[in-house]
């Protein structure tokens, strides 16, 4: 496996490839969720490139940029085990006075974007840089970050980028907790509370055909044992609020704090 440390090295490596290229961008502290993306890319492409970069511009002031989990040695071993062809680990991708990308004013500033204003500007900026460097045929993103996936698909369409964005299902622990690098922050008792996020979503999935959505939301909130709920919402796949359940077009999203840890989860129904 090649380890590439600069944008130039990635560009040169990419120029040497002739067959299909799959790309999996991550922030590291790799877990089985990331592995499922890598597996998918390996199956569908001749070459797979993974990147690990903790992108500073997507963190708001006061968020966990400085404490975000880092385990590069383990991540390298995992990528080798999965026979990743190249791992891109840049130290920085930014200059000091840059052209910047702004997320769509509506969809980029609701839900996650409402509570983390500017977050998606940073996400789209770094993803655009990475896609321009790796020029992949296919890029793999988790549907666990539902709004991120939706906005990246929109960016690729709006900016006529030549990459297919592929959304992969959320990997969960056997008890239902969505896998996340941030789960490393949770104590045992916090993990128990965190489990109520997925339990709430599963309750909603099982009852969404039986109750009107307002009542369902009110009932569902009763299951949550978290410290602070930021949102629990039902939208369609384009993030418009929904009044009634629509088969194959209903997305339930949740964000909540358990202790100091902010967790998100969702279900696509």
Check if 137 is active-site.
Answer: no
Least Cβ distance, residue 265 to ligand AMP (angstroms): 9
Site residues, ligand AMP (CB under 6 A)? 26-27, 33-34, 36-37, 141-142, 144-145, 168, 170-171, 178-181
Least Cβ distance, residue 177 to ligand AMP (angstroms): 9
Nearer to ligand AMP, 36 or 200 (CB): 36
Least Cβ distance, residue 28 to ligand AMP (angstroms): 6
Nearer to ligand AMP, 34 or 193 (CB): 34
Least Cβ distance, residue 97 to ligand AMP (angstroms): 26
Nearer to ligand AMP, 245 or 268 (CB): 268
Nearer to ligand AMP, 31 or 192 (CB): 31
The catalytic residue among 34, 114, 119, 137 is 34
The per-residue DSSP string of the chain comes to -EEE-SHHHHHHHHHT--S-EEEEEE-SS--HHHHHHHHHHHHH-SEEEEEE---GGGSPTTSSTTTS---HHHHHHHHHHTT-SEEE--S----SS-------TTTTSSTHHHHSTTHHHHHHHHHHHHHHHH--SEEEEETTSHHHHHHHHHHHHHTT-S-EEEEEPPPB-TTSPBP-GGGGG--HHHHHHHHHHHHHHHHHHHHTTTS-HHHHHHHHHTT---SEEEEEEEE-TTS-B-SS--TT--EEEEEEEETTEEEEEEEE-
Which are the catalytic amino acids?
34
């Amino acid at each position: 496996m090649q380890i590439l440390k600069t944008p130039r090295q990635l560009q040169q490596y990419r120029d040497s490839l002739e067959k299909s290229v799959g790309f999996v961008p991550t922030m590291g502290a790799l877990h089985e969720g990331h592995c499922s993306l890598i597996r998918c890319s390996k199956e569908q492409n001749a070459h797979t490139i993974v990147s690990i970069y903790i992108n500073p511009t997507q963190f708001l002031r006061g968020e966990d940029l400085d404490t975000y989990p880092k385990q590069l040695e383990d991540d390298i071993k995992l990528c080798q085990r999965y026979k990743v062809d190249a791992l891109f680990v840049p130290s920085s991708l930014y200059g000091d006075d840059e052209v910047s990308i702004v997320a769509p004013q509506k969809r980029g500033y609701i839900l996650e974007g409402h509570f983390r204003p500017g977050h998606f500007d940073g996400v789209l900026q770094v993803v655009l840089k990475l896609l321009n460097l790796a020029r992949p045929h296919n890029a793999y993103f988790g549907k666990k970050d539902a709004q991120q996936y939706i906005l990246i698909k929109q960016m690729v369409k709006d900016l006529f980028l030549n990459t297919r964005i592929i959304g992969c299902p959320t990997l969960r622990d056997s008890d239902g907790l969505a896998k996340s690098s941030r789960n490393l922050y949770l104590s045992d008792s916090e993990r128990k509370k965190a489990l109520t996020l997925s339990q709430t979503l599963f309750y909603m999935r099982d009852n969404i055909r039986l109750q009107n959505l307002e009542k369902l939301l009110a009932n569902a909130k009763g299951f949550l044992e978290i410290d602070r709920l930021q949102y629990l919402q039902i939208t369609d796949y384009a993030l418009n609020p929904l009044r009634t359940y629509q088969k194959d077009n209903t997305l339930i999203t949740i964000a909540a704090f358990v202790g100091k840890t902010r967790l998100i989860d969702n279900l696509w129904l």
